[in-house]
Chains A and B, each alone.
Chain A
Amino acid sequence: MSYRITGNTGEWEIVVGLEVHAQVVSEAKLFSGASAEYGGEPNTHVSLVDAGFPGMLPVLNQECVAQAVRTGLGLEAEVNLFSRFDRKNYFYADLPTGYQISQFAHPIIGKGKVLVDLADGSTREIGVTRLHLEQDAGKSIHDQDPTRSFIDLNRAGVALMEIVSEPDIRSPEEAGAYLRKLRQILRYIGTCDGNMEEGSMRADVNVSVRKPGETEYRTRCEIKNVNSIRFVMMAIEVEAQRQIEVWEAGGTVDQETRLFDHVRGETRSLRSKEDAHDYRYFPDPDLLPLLIEQSWVDELKAALPELPEAKRVRLEQEYGVSRYESSVLCVEQAVADFYETVARGADARLAANWMLGDFFAALNRTGRSIEDSPVSAEGLRELLGLISNSTINGKIAKEVLEDMVETGDSASAIVERKGLRQVTDTGAIENAIREILAANSDKVEEYKSGKDKLFGFFVGQTMKAMKGKGNPALVNETLKKLLSE
């Protein structure tokens, strides 16, 4: 189903393109040796190059180039063996040199694509126009003093990848799915941590609207620096609404840069096209053109980890899990790795079931991540093994898992300590059932006269009497036998 907004004049289609700024995972900044680590006391991760001191020169950090190439490969994109750095000139207090070094005319990565999964199970391909390397600016702090602003240059010069999508996105949901998928790929490859709260991933959102069937794009507006997936989706929706109202009132949408105010749920004009900066891009004469070798690209490609899409397909095939289960398990590489550790040597489908169910619930409850999970993959595998070999049943296993989370003890230790080993002794089960049937003779009569639903009642009562330890299959079997006597 295509996403449509209904206005006074009928339906509207939205057209969205995203420019994502992803901070490159690297030790040092793009053109200086200063630390690229997040945080730190203001102005402690700053070299003289970052601060734009006289005579300081940029020197390209090769690791950042490798990260951009890896990312390009992850986006199945063209890697340009020739690229170039340009200066984007503008004055601002947190831009020490008065220009940002970026790649304007010749980006390192060309056309690529991202496959996004939508809620209805369909997938869509969103084109990537380009990816280029550029420097981040510093931070201006305006709220510490009534008359002065403060500048923190820790971020100044940190490497960013600007990943520009084609205007292929047609709904807020697709925008969200694109960002999630992009983040997933970047995290898999280890080129960006995708942490939007810390600003290591931010998006500029280009939005326009048009009538379904129109082939030309109408004027777009750019919403700058949106810092969460949810806000991106909200911003698209409110901006599209605003533009529809403008068009329907007989006006025209002006090309401009806007800001999204999530508190008021609206976008506001930041600057119009007339006020747009003239950035006076030109090739940075301090840097040579960036030439890389195909053989180096091939090496980086060979060393890439398995990417999300490939992993999802493989888990389905190798472990017999559903597409849904596989895609959830593959959202994060660490989860998929955890799953594979559990699934090797256990019932793989049972493992998927448990991870998606009780295990994730336990993580959520304890507020822990997969990396510091209270239960190890090996521990979970042992627990599942106890189910598979009928030492305990599924219900008891839930109780054991909770105990594991709480105490850190192993599953078998808990089963021993609590005496949870399941009863498979048919005699004991038969005795327990006979007692239940004797105590509920009226219900037995009702059952026999056709009230089949009561079977569950008898199972429940039996399990209760056996403190949950009865082997469910044997309990069922024995009950059926005795009730038909």
Chain B
Amino acid sequence: MSSIHDLTLASARDALKARKISAVELTNAHIDAIERLDGQLNSFITRTPDQAREAAKVSDEALAKGEGGSLCGIPLGIKDLFCTNGVRTTAASKILGNFVPPYESTVTANLLKDGAVFLGKLNLDEFAMGSANLTSAFGPVENPWKRKGSDVKLVPGGSSGGSAAAVAAGLVLGATGTDTGGSIRQPAAFTGIAGIKPTYGRCSRFGTIAFASSLDQAGPMARNLQDCAILLESMAGFDPRDSTSVDTPVPHYEAALKRGVKGLRVGIPKEYHVEGMPAEIEALWQQGMDWLRDAGAEIVEVSLPHTKYGLPTYYIAALAEASSNLARYDGVRFGERVSAPTLDGLYEASRAAGFGDEVKRRILIGTHVLSSGYYDAYYLRAQKVRTLIQQDFLKAFEKVDVLLTPTAPSGAFAQDEKPSDPVQMYLNDVFTVPASMAGVPALSVPAGLDARGVPLGLQLIGKFFDEETLIAAGHAIEQAAAFHYRPTIHAGVSA
């Protein structure tokens, strides 16, 4: 082994259990890496090295006794959308100020219960609203990947861009993400890592700051699907504090890796051949089909006829909910307050100062689509279309077991190539949004590099609560793709 940073989460877990390394050693190595590299990447908003070292010590004590949960001593980063007890939680927004929650989100509590060590809170688009991690009040995150022969700064995708960058650069062994319309999958693809958006209701939303409640779903991001499977098994589960959480047993996801894809029917939605998609993305997609066919799967063309309505309906449904979810950030009870002589003045000043432009834009759109006179034309119609989109998937899943698509219509773009038209930016989510709208699980695995040396991902979409089949199919791609590339900025010495 050339470096502690070459360990995957699974191999680190095994090394810890075997006492080949200590949790303190592993944690310190990651804290060092963060100190060395994160000044440039800016993937952390809040670092918690002291707490991490404390937790690592406790982990070592447990491991010495042959005890400790499935993640005992594993250093993770937490997207700063999860409330963490006693640790500042910002949602990458100024409006929360120095808000320190007196409670722990269910997802992070589950990870802690299994012994995970938290290195800090990871950067994201403000309130998870963005696809490039350019809207954070704590500055943009830089993608650790570089184009061949270029030093231009690339975006890590969004909104879980900090999580993606930190995992890709080896600053953490895994991270939590949240996915509302692609916020785990697209940044995973942009940074050459794996990420799973589980079925809506699989992970509790309790204690996770809401963007769009009917779409938000937490999920794991890590270097490969085995690591994601281990994390997901810990994160998932029924929570009586979230009424939309589903009470169904959590399978042993890691075991699904070995299932293989023999006889699996893989659907190729023809509507995903969108106009203007780069040839190399089309080629990668074809490559994915070939890999799965070679591994024993059957490739079947399917139709998801309402795909083209996915983005517009998503931006109505999600923003309607967001406009209401973000009403609580009013400067009255917590977070930043800008004083004013009247209550309305206080609201206006606090929200004007606290929210960034993209969040304001989305609150305005969301408020508009719910307004009297527009509700039927926008919100209600979007809900109907959402049902049609879900039916598309249900029909397709009568014929096939999983769907294969590209994760994003391009590889990571440069920070200064950000489209000036916000709608252009929204197109990043064109392939990821429909699964979110339907609530079905989906994942992204790294599958190759584009001509400029930037990673590209493939997306698999599965049936409700059938993450296992997704993981099995994803692992087949992982094995065929043998994605062994490293980003330019990486903690490991062999980078």
**Is this pair of chains taken from one and the same complex?**
yes
A residues sitting closer than 8 Å to B (CB atoms) are 48, 51-60, 87, 89, 91-93, 96-99, 149, 151, 278, 280-282, 285-288
Most buried by B among A51, A56, A151, A287: A56
Q: How far is the CB of A105 from chain B (nearest CB, A)?
A: 11
Please, which residues of chain A bring their CB within 8 A of the CB of B213?
Answer: 285-286
Please, which residues of chain A bring their CB within 8 A of the CB of B334?
Answer: 53-54
How far apart sit A289 and B144, CA to CA, in the bound complex (Å)?
44
B241 at the interface (CB under 8 A from A): yes
B484 at the interface (CB under 8 A from A): no
Are B214 and A285 touching (Cβ within 8 A)?
Answer: yes
Are B327 and A57 touching (Cβ within 8 A)?
Answer: no
Are B243 and A286 touching (Cβ within 8 A)?
Answer: yes
Please, which residues of chain B bring their CB within 8 A of the CB of A48?
Answer: 102-103
Residue of B nearest to A287 (CB): B243
B364 at the interface (CB under 8 A from A): no
Are A89 and B324 touching (Cβ within 8 A)?
Answer: yes
Q: How far is the CB of B85 from chain A (nearest CB, A)?
A: 12
* A-B residue pairs in contact (CB < 8 Å), sample of 15: A54-B83, A54-B209, A54-B334, A55-B103, A55-B206, A57-B206, A57-B243, A59-B241, A91-B327, A91-B344, A93-B330, A93-B332, A96-B328, A97-B327, A286-B205
Among B13-21, B225-233, B367-375, the one that faces the other chain is B367-375
Please, which residues of chain A bring their CB within 8 A of the CB of B105?
Answer: 55
B208 at the interface (CB under 8 A from A): yes
Are B379 and A282 touching (Cβ within 8 A)?
Answer: yes
Residue of A nearest to B209 (CB): A54
Known: A54-B328, A97-B328. A285 touches B212 (CB 8 A): yes
Please, which residues of chain A bring their CB within 8 A of the CB of B101?
Answer: 53-55
Q: Total interface residues on B, using CB and 8 Å?
A: 43
B425 at the interface (CB under 8 A from A): no
B177-223, CB < 8 A from A? 205-210, 212-214
How far apart sit A78 and B201, CA to CA, in the bound complex (Å)?
32
How far apart sit A89 and B375, CA to CA, in the bound complex (Å)?
14
B347-365, CB < 8 A from A? 347
How far apart sit A457 and B206, CA to CA, in the bound complex (Å)?
85
Are B89 and A54 touching (Cβ within 8 A)?
Answer: yes
Are B205 and A57 touching (Cβ within 8 A)?
Answer: yes
Please, which residues of chain A bring their CB within 8 A of the CB of B243?
Answer: 57-60, 286-288
Q: How far is the CB of B363 from chain A (nearest CB, A)?
A: 11
Please, which residues of chain A bring their CB within 8 A of the CB of B244?
Answer: 285-288
Please, which residues of chain A bring their CB within 8 A of the CB of B96?
Answer: 54
B304-335, CB < 8 A from A? 320-321, 323-324, 327-328, 330, 332-334
Q: Is the interface of B mostly helix, strand, loop or mixed?
A: loop
Please, which residues of chain A bring their CB within 8 A of the CB of B83?
Answer: 54-55
B242 at the interface (CB under 8 A from A): yes
Apart from A54-B99, A54-B101, A280-B372: 12 A-B pairs, beta carbons within 8 A: A55-B82, A55-B206, A55-B207, A55-B210, A91-B327, A280-B323, A280-B367, A280-B371, A282-B320, A285-B212, A286-B210, A287-B244
Are A89 and B206 touching (Cβ within 8 A)?
Answer: no
How far apart sit A278 and B206, CA to CA, in the bound complex (Å)?
29
Q: How far is the CB of B491 from chain A (nearest CB, A)?
A: 31
Question: A53, A56, A282: which contacts B324 (Cβ < 8 A)?
Answer: A282
Are B333 and A98 touching (Cβ within 8 A)?
Answer: no
- Give the 10 A-B CB pairs with smallest separation, nearest first: A98-B327, A280-B370, A285-B213, A285-B214, A55-B207, A52-B328, A54-B209, A55-B83, A278-B372, A97-B328
Most buried by B among A58, A97, A285: A285
Question: B91, B212, B327, B371: which contacts A54 (Cβ < 8 A)?
Answer: B91
Are A99 and B206 touching (Cβ within 8 A)?
Answer: no
Chain B 333-347, CB-CB to A under 8 Å as 1, else 0, gives 110000000011001
Are A98 and B210 touching (Cβ within 8 A)?
Answer: no
Q: How far is the CB of B355 from chain A (nearest CB, A)?
A: 14
Residue of B nearest to A278 (CB): B372
Please, which residues of chain B bring their CB within 8 A of the CB of A98?
Answer: 324, 327-328, 330
Q: How far is the CB of A48 from chain B (nearest CB, A)?
A: 6
Known: A58-B243, A280-B370, A280-B371. A89 touches B209 (CB 8 A): no
Residue of B nearest to A33 (CB): B241
Q: How far is the CB of B314 from chain A (nearest CB, A)?
A: 14
Are A99 and B327 touching (Cβ within 8 A)?
Answer: yes
Please, which residues of chain B bring their CB within 8 A of the CB of A87?
Answer: 324
How far apart sit A472 and B83, CA to CA, in the bound complex (Å)?
84
How far apart sit A99 and B208, CA to CA, in the bound complex (Å)?
19
B86 at the interface (CB under 8 A from A): no
Residue of B nearest to A51 (CB): B333
Are B241 and A57 touching (Cβ within 8 A)?
Answer: yes
How far apart sit A402 and B49, CA to CA, in the bound complex (Å)?
80
How far apart sit A344 and B151, CA to CA, in the bound complex (Å)?
97
Q: How far is the CB of B464 from chain A (nearest CB, A)?
A: 15
How far apart sit A51 and B335, CA to CA, in the bound complex (Å)?
13
Are B240 and A89 touching (Cβ within 8 A)?
Answer: no
Known: A93-B343, A286-B244. A280 touches B327 (CB 8 A): no
How far apart sit A281 and B320, CA to CA, in the bound complex (Å)?
10
How far apart sit A93 and B350, CA to CA, in the bound complex (Å)?
13
Residue of A nearest to B327 (CB): A98
Please, which residues of chain A bring their CB within 8 A of the CB of B209?
Answer: 54-55
How far apart sit A89 and B323, CA to CA, in the bound complex (Å)?
9
Question: B324, B333, B370: which contacts A96 (Cβ < 8 A)?
Answer: B333
Q: How far is the CB of B316 from chain A (nearest CB, A)?
A: 11
Please, which residues of chain A bring their CB within 8 A of the CB of B367?
Answer: 280
Are B333 and A52 touching (Cβ within 8 A)?
Answer: yes
Are A57 and B103 touching (Cβ within 8 A)?
Answer: no
Are B347 and A55 touching (Cβ within 8 A)?
Answer: no
How far apart sit A57 and B201, CA to CA, in the bound complex (Å)?
13
Residue of A nearest to B83 (CB): A55
Q: How far is the CB of B365 from chain A (nearest CB, A)?
A: 13
Are A89 and B370 touching (Cβ within 8 A)?
Answer: yes
Residue of B nearest to A153 (CB): B333
Q: How far is the CB of B69 from chain A (nearest CB, A)?
A: 23
Please, which residues of chain B bring their CB within 8 A of the CB of A53?
Answer: 101, 103, 328, 333-334
Please, which residues of chain A bring their CB within 8 A of the CB of B89?
Answer: 54
How far apart sit A99 and B321, CA to CA, in the bound complex (Å)?
11
Q: How far is the CB of A271 from chain B (nearest CB, A)?
A: 14
How far apart sit A58 and B243, CA to CA, in the bound complex (Å)?
7
Please, which residues of chain B bring their CB within 8 A of the CB of A55?
Answer: 82-83, 101, 103, 105, 205-210
Q: How far is the CB of A297 from chain B (nearest CB, A)?
A: 21
How far apart sit A93 and B330, CA to CA, in the bound complex (Å)?
9
Q: How far is the CB of B108 from chain A (nearest CB, A)?
A: 11
How far apart sit A278 and B373, CA to CA, in the bound complex (Å)?
10
Please, which residues of chain A bring their CB within 8 A of the CB of B214?
Answer: 285
Residue of B nearest to A88 (CB): B324
How far apart sit A53 and B334, CA to CA, in the bound complex (Å)?
8
Please, which residues of chain A bring their CB within 8 A of the CB of B82?
Answer: 55
How far apart sit A282 and B328, CA to CA, in the bound complex (Å)?
17
Residue of B nearest to A151 (CB): B332
Q: How far is the CB of B80 from chain A (nearest CB, A)?
A: 11
Residue of B nearest to A31 (CB): B243
How far apart sit A55 and B344, CA to CA, in the bound complex (Å)?
24
How far apart sit A96 and B335, CA to CA, in the bound complex (Å)?
13
Q: How far is the CB of A22 from chain B (nearest CB, A)?
A: 25
Q: How far is the CB of B480 from chain A (nearest CB, A)?
A: 39
Most buried by A among B96, B101, B240, B328: B328
Are B324 and A280 touching (Cβ within 8 A)?
Answer: yes
Q: How far is the CB of B96 from chain A (nearest CB, A)?
A: 7
Residue of B nearest to A280 (CB): B370
Q: How far is the CB of B152 from chain A (nearest CB, A)?
A: 36
Please, which residues of chain B bring their CB within 8 A of the CB of A149?
Answer: 343
How far apart sit A19 and B372, CA to CA, in the bound complex (Å)?
23
